[in-house]
Amino acid sequence: MRTPRPVGYLRHPGASGLNRIDPIPTDALAERRARFQAQLGDGVALIPGAKRVYRSHDVDYVFRQRSDLLYLTGFDQPEALALFTRDRFVLFVQDRDPKAETWTGRRPGVEGAVRDYGADAAHPIGELAERLPPYLENVPRLYHRFGDDHPFDQIVLKALEQVRSRVRSGITAPEEITSPQTLLYEMRLAKDARELAIMRAAADITREAHHAAARLCREGTWEYEIEAALHQVFRARGGAGPAYPSIVASGANATILHYTENESQLAAGQLVLIDAGVELHGYASDVTRTYPVDGRLEGAARDVYAVVLRAQQDALAAIHSGTSLQAIHDVAARSLVKGLMELGVLGGVPDELFEEQAYQPFYMHTTGHFLGLDVHDVGNYNVGGKPRPLEPGMVFTVEPGLYFSAENEQIPPELRGIGVRIEDDVVITDDGFEVLTAAIPKQIQDIEAWMRA
């Protein structure tokens, strides 16, 4: 019997209890595979999984399956590969091994791969080299991306050589090799109702975690204490843990975009930028809020926060089906230019400052990215040389920010060392858009009240 995976829970405001959120069910995974296989024609696709990675000596990093294999199969064990033809789904997996399982946990084995994961056939992963060549015979196209896993690439190359060596017997090898991601990424880009249910649950867990973190933003608290509070909620509510290394950046640390040391002590008058989201059933939440130490936004910090909040509100107001992430970024950047002028950082003509990207020393990143099974999820941002129009089901972030280096002597002294980012997760709907993380406060008065609650 398949070992149950952890469940997540969605808390409904005003309701008692928690509603269980299950992983993507097997019938939905089978439907995904059918759509993927229908695009293969007479080709064969190889989708490898992740391997265990050593952290130090004989200690592993926590295992996380590659998103493509997870998306198509739900298989969450290491050392696996899925092979697809138009009408066959074959899994290569670790065989059952009682001794190894005593040390590293239960394995589904080849029987479980068929019984629990819907494979038409399954084989031990150690037999891949000998079993792969027949699948490549008289096949015009191979879907495989070279470069991700060198040992596996060598198995594929040897299999191709073996098939080519039989040309005098009338056997042909694939003449075209292309990446399966060309097909998969388009499938993964638009989320269906089940995926969105998980992402809403992830947003709710992240809301609770941010609330726990916000209440700790007091003078004398250490950043790692706040990080621990976030992660405690992530796990207690059924998540796998953080979807990415959590950022808890107080004071000037917030001007480092990917600050993850989380080792400083909070001081009075500082802001704390917290960028943290849970991973639930493989799907990521990605949220940033900026909180004042001891609960009151004042002075220059309040002014900067207000500018970033306005930029995000302007960006959200520009969202609609058919627009693009680039267009949303441009709206946010124009708003930030206006704010930088109000703060005394920039001077000149707003349109010219925007065209010159004069904001970039203080706003270095784009306003959003796709979100899903990966935090920076897959999908082309440009199609036909133009920014991609957003369509229903696409999930992305909206995250303007301003970062003033403590060493920058060209800006007003009161701004130095201040970093602010506000980030929400958004999905395009048939009639507009939904902010999945809207329940996490960001208005100044709401933030201050939330930190006291």
| pLDDT, tens only, 278-334 | 999 999 999 999 999 999 999 999 999 999 999 999 999 999 999 999 999 999 999
**Within this chain, do residues 133 and 203 fall inside the same structural domain, yes or no?**
no
**Within this chain, do residues 258 and 194 fall inside the same structural domain, yes or no?**
yes
Whether residue 134 has pLDDT greater than 70: yes
**Within this chain, do residues 307 and 219 fall inside the same structural domain, yes or no?**
yes
286 is catalytic: yes
What is the pLDDT at residue 20? 75
Q: Number of helices and strands (H, E) in the chain?
A: 13, 23
Last residue within a domain, chosen from 186, 205, 220: 186
CATH number of the domain encompassing residue 95: 3.40.350.10
Question: What Cα–Cα distance (Å) separates residue 45 from each residue in 235, 267, 410?
Answer: 35, 55, 55
Catalytic residue among 195, 275, 314, 374: 275
424 is catalytic: no
421 is catalytic: yes
**Within this chain, do residues 250 and 319 fall inside the same structural domain, yes or no?**
yes
12 is catalytic: no
Catalytic residue among 27, 57, 58, 431: 58
Whether residue 12 has pLDDT greater than 50: no
Whether residue 212 has pLDDT greater than 80: yes
What is the pLDDT at residue 58? 87
**Within this chain, do residues 45 and 172 fall inside the same structural domain, yes or no?**
yes
Q: Is residue 2 part of a domain?
A: no
**Within this chain, do residues 168 and 278 fall inside the same structural domain, yes or no?**
no
Catalytic residue among 365, 414, 434, 448: 365
Q: What is the mean pLDDT of residues 400-405?
A: 98
Q: Is residue 77 part of a domain?
A: yes
**Within this chain, do residues 310 and 199 fall inside the same structural domain, yes or no?**
yes
What is the pLDDT at residue 7? 46
What is the pLDDT at residue 14? 37
Which tens digit of pLDDT belongs to each residue from 140-160? 999 999 999 999 999 999 999
**Within this chain, do residues 194 and 94 fall inside the same structural domain, yes or no?**
no
**Within this chain, do residues 118 and 209 fall inside the same structural domain, yes or no?**
no
**DSSP 8-state secondary structure symbol assigned to residue 388:** P
Which tens digit of pLDDT belongs to each residue from 30-48? 999 999 999 999 999 999 9
Q: Is residue 3 part of a domain?
A: no
144 is catalytic: no
Which tens digit of pLDDT belongs to each residue from 48-74? 999 999 999 889 999 999 999 999 999
Catalytic residue among 204, 423, 424, 425: 423
**Within this chain, do residues 271 and 165 fall inside the same structural domain, yes or no?**
no
Write down the mean pLDDT value for the chain.
95
58 is catalytic: yes
Which tens digit of pLDDT belongs to each residue from 409-444? 999 999 999 999 999 999 999 999 999 999 999 999
Count of domains observed in the chain: 2
Catalytic residue among 188, 374, 403, 425: 403
365 is catalytic: yes
330 is catalytic: no
The parent domain of residue 415 ranges over 190-452
Catalytic residue among 207, 231, 289, 369: 369
Last residue within a domain, chosen from 186, 201, 219: 186
Whether residue 3 has pLDDT greater than 60: no
Facing residues of 420 across strands? 402
**Within this chain, do residues 166 and 240 fall inside the same structural domain, yes or no?**
no
Q: Is residue 1 part of a domain?
A: no
Q: Mind giving me the DSSP string for 112-158?
A: HHHHHH--SEEEEGGGHHHHHHHHTTT-SEEE--TTS-HHHHHHHHH
231 is catalytic: no
Distance CA 86, CA 300 (A): 61
Say how many residues make up the chain.
453
Whether residue 208 has pLDDT greater than 70: yes
258 is catalytic: yes
150 is catalytic: no
Helical pair 150-164 and 128-135, crossing angle rounded to 10 deg: 50
Which tens digit of pLDDT belongs to each residue from 361-383? 999 999 999 999 999 999 999 99
CATH number of the domain encompassing residue 311: 3.90.230.10
Query: What's the pLDDT band for 18 if we cut at 50, 70, 90?
Result: low
Last residue within a domain, chosen from 118, 152, 186: 186
**Within this chain, do residues 61 and 173 fall inside the same structural domain, yes or no?**
yes
